[in-house]
Structure 1
């Protein structure tokens, strides 16, 4: 299975690199206008029609190969027999260790020689006479 995945990955990488090269070799839409007035290369390697048909068809074939290899990699990459969809689901479950209770919890409170903290203030009374009128 790994050999087939490696072959598919190599085909995909080669198709992508060659497709990028072919796309960069193609002329833009404005390049045909110069060839019509004689300043372009009408008698080129690919004939008088130029390289548009050859390069565009080759690019279309390579794009099809690229998408087919992408779909095959996605299919074979997800068809693994392992259980669970993620690493967290396959991780072993262990209970955390309970912290050891200290022998004397009062000895761990730093005193610092300061006075003890003041007590919380009592809740205010809800007397309607204390609320100012508008």
Structure 2
């Protein structure tokens, strides 16, 4: 039996493939993002309001695990969330997190997935 326990958040794996300064060489890995589980109605309302990626991230991301700096030191807590919001790799991180989130929780944001936005 599949138990449908009520939960406000889940830990979502997000696989990334970041470019490097070498052609055909990538920095690959998986991070884990604690995200809020929003209702379809809430997601649709956000879509109808033309919510931007960073606003979605502020709404759904609670924690990020698995990021590290150049020296290999773990980036944790609010600093990890800040990396997703404003860090050097934020465009890549936000796109990957949102893609994983909407693949998991449905396509309530289809309207915002325009070709011009790179998705």
TM-score interval, normalised by the smaller of the two chains = under 0.3
Structure with greater proportional strand content: 2
Structure with greater proportional helix content: 1
User: Given the two structures, how large is their TM-score scaled by the length of structure 1?
Assistant: 0.22
Structure showing greater relative contact order (alpha-carbon pairs closer than 8 Å, 6 or more residues apart): 1
